[in-house]
Amino acid sequence: MGKAAIVTTIRKFREEYNKNYFTDVCHDFVKDECSLPVDNANDRSWDDCYDFLFKYLPRGEKYQNFHLVFEYVMPESLKRADVLILSKDKILSLEFKEKNRVLRDDIAQAAGYGQSITHYHYMTEENDMLVSTYLVYTPGDPTGNHDLVDILCPINFTKKLSMN
């Protein structure tokens, strides 16, 4: 089994992937490589993720060669992080939600992915990479506890990523 559905740069994501192709690749990876059921809700989530990233990923030249990893399979499990953004010394783990409220389970999910990448992925340790974990709410700033994990949404996503 491969470790991710798609590994590309921000530049190639914008130039080579349209929404249908992106969603099809993610769909087929989860269904065929991970042997997990996939339904219309999954496809809608990938469409939403694509639209959000295409619109809000930083456009500055210094970001164009950062790598994007979609549906990354966590070490020692079948859990999958929605998106990882890799620079030379940082990894950003993004867990996307199409909700208007922060839920405890969402916080636990995102935090678990961050811990897994930080503690169980040899490249992170070997390269002394900083791991930051975020919940990304695509509809807008959600209600609920913002203190336990960093929350990104349309109003702060580009700025926050530009600072990393």
Full set of structural domains in the chain with CATH:
6-163 (3.40.1350)
Look up residue 91 and give its two tokens.
Answer: 């990894």
Question: What's the confidence (pLDDT) of residue 85?
Answer: 94
Question: What's the confidence (pLDDT) of residue 123?
Answer: 74
pTM of the predicted protein model: 0.92
CB atoms within 10 A of CB 8: 17
Question: What's the confidence (pLDDT) of residue 145?
Answer: 81
- pLDDT by position in tens, the chain (length 164): 469 999 999 999 999 999 999 999 999 999 999 999 999 999 999 999 999 999 999 998 999 999 999 999 987 777 899 999 998 888 999 999 999 999 999 999 999 888 888 877 767 777 788 899 999 999 999 998 877 789 999 999 998 887 76
d(CA 129, CA 81) in angstroms, rounded, equals: 17
Question: What's the confidence (pLDDT) of residue 1?
Answer: 47
d(CA 99, CA 96) in angstroms, rounded, equals: 9
Specify the amino acid at residue 142.
P
Look up residue 149 and give its two tokens.
Answer: 């994990």
Q: Which of 51, 46, 10 is nearest to 27 (CA)?
A: 46
Give the largest Cα separation in the chain, rounded: 39
115 CB-side CA count, 13 A: 8
CB-based contacts of 104, cutoff 8 Å, min separation 6: none
Question: What's the confidence (pLDDT) of residue 76?
Answer: 74
Expressed in angstroms, the distance from the first to the final Cα of the chain is: 31
Question: What's the confidence (pLDDT) of residue 2?
Answer: 60
Question: What's the confidence (pLDDT) of residue 164?
Answer: 67
